[in-house]
Amino acid sequence: MSKLVTIYGGSGFVGRYIAQRMARQGWRVRVAVRRPNDAHFVKPYGVVGQVEPVFCNIRDDDSVRAVMSGAEAVINCVGTFDAKGKNNFDAVQDEGAERIARIAAETGVARMVHISAIGAKTDAPSRYGQTKGLGEDGVLAAMPNAVILRPSVVFGPEDQFFNRFAAMARMSPIVPLFGADTRFQPVYVDDVAAAAELGATGKAAPGVYELGGPEVATFRALIETMLQVIRRRRLVVGFPFWLGRFLATVTGAVSALTGGLAPQPVTDDQLKELTRDNVVGGNAQGFEALGITPKSLDAILPSYLWMFRPSGQYAELKESARNLKG
């Protein structure tokens, strides 16, 4: 019988790529999610019955244990940007991660991979970073042989980074940024999935790996690169953090008064995250230690941001026609 892996949050942005890779390796894949009816798209990742979405509430021991039954490896991809509600930073990134690792140890699971984030530490400036750090501590306390992956900002077809700003640029002549000079090291989603696959199959040594792509650039430079890809000229404006904190306070109050119906474009916690660089540490092990060559922005961005170009999929065809006329 094929080996079984349980992927918590396996229908999310990173999780779905890991699920595809594990299925291609012949593993049975159990995708543990809160809403399995919304995750049926994972089934075609393998042959009939190989990849199955199942219900799991990571705030509950019995629920976590049930979907882990029989698994040789577990991968935790669950994360959140929600500071409030039942599935907040503490419940998901701290307590949830610790719960998965503790039960994995209790049930004799051989290997665990935990997706964290660069900057995860208990004294991080943001609650997001702090709970990521607490989650890592909980994982290592229970599963000291775990593989922990800390990616920088992750990009790919379903990302909420370049897609979000490209959509903004399609509608607005100005792209506003907080933390315009903060540096990032964007990493392609399938490269992160490749690292997770190595960890789950026992081909990566236990430890912490910081994952960043080949480019290190400021927030402003990344948005300018995105604008070049989508063929749009827009003014990129950096705003001070004090203005961001004021905006976060006002929009947060409006969002609370409307029961969440009014969106909050930026939160105070997100602003705190933007006060520090999001790049691989100088002494950290990363893709090189895993034998993976990360893909560049230039190789990937045009493959999915073309839809934001003025002429969409026909942009390059029109440009070629103009060159012929010239």
Two tokens at 312? 């969409």
Residue type, 82: D
Lowest-confidence segment of 54-58, 164-168, 203-207, 256-260 by average pLDDT: 256-260
The pTM (predicted TM-score) of the whole model is 0.93
Residue 80 has pLDDT above 60, yes or no: yes
Mean of pLDDT values over 237-243? 95
| Buried residues in 78-101 as b, exposed as e (16+ CB within 10 A) | bbbeebeeebbbbbbbbbbbbbbb
Task: Output the CA torsion sign for 75, 186, 274, 177.
Answer: negative
Domains held by the chain: number:
1
The per-residue pLDDT for 322 is 61
Helix (H, G, I), strand (E, B) or coil at 113: strand
pLDDT tens sequence across 112-130: 999 999 999 999 999 999 9
Residue 214 has pLDDT above 70, yes or no: yes
Torsion angles phi and psi, residue 149, rounded to 5: -110, 125
Residue 281, judged by CB atoms within 10 A of its CB (0-12, 13-18, 19+), counts as: middle
| Secondary structure, 3-state, 249-305 | HHHHHHHHHCCCCCCCCCCHHHHHHCCCCECCCCCCCCHHHHCCCCCCHHHHCHHHH
The per-residue pLDDT for 256 is 81
218's CB contacts (< 8 A; 6+ apart) are 180, 181, 182, 183, 184
Q: Is residue 168 part of a domain?
A: no
Q: CA–CA separation, 98 vs 218, rounded Å?
A: 33
Q: Is residue 245 part of a domain?
A: no
Q: Is residue 208 part of a domain?
A: yes
The per-residue pLDDT for 1 is 64
Residue 264 has pLDDT above 90, yes or no: no
Q: Is residue 226 part of a domain?
A: no
Lowest-confidence segment of 24-38, 73-87, 148-162, 216-230 by average pLDDT: 73-87
Domain holding 98, by residue range, is 4-159+186-215+280-295
CATH number of 73's domain: 3.40.50.720
Residue 259 has pLDDT above 80, yes or no: no
Mean pLDDT of all residues belonging to the chain: 94
Q: Are 127 and 89 in contact, with CB atoms under 8 Å apart?
A: yes
The per-residue pLDDT for 211 is 98
Mean of pLDDT values over 147-168? 97
Left, alpha or beta for 52 (phi > 0: left; psi -120 to 50: alpha)?
beta
Q: Is residue 19 part of a domain?
A: yes
Q: Are 110 and 75 in contact, with CB atoms under 8 Å apart?
A: no
Mean of pLDDT values over 312-322? 62
- When pLDDT is cut at 50, 70 and 90, the band that residue 257 belongs to is confident
Q: Is residue 318 part of a domain?
A: no
Q: Is residue 285 part of a domain?
A: yes
Q: CA–CA separation, 186 vs 152, rounded Å?
A: 6
Share above pLDDT 90 across residues of the chain, in percent, rounded to a whole number: 87
Residues in the chain: 326
Residue 317 has pLDDT above 60, yes or no: no
The per-residue pLDDT for 319 is 60
Q: Is residue 227 part of a domain?
A: no
Mean of pLDDT values over 236-249? 94
- When pLDDT is cut at 50, 70 and 90, the band that residue 261 belongs to is confident
The per-residue pLDDT for 19 is 98
The stretches of the chain forming alpha helices (DSSP H) are: 13-24, 61-68, 89, 97-106, 127-142, 162-171, 189-200, 219-229, 241-257, 268-273, 287-290, 297-300, 302-305, 315-325
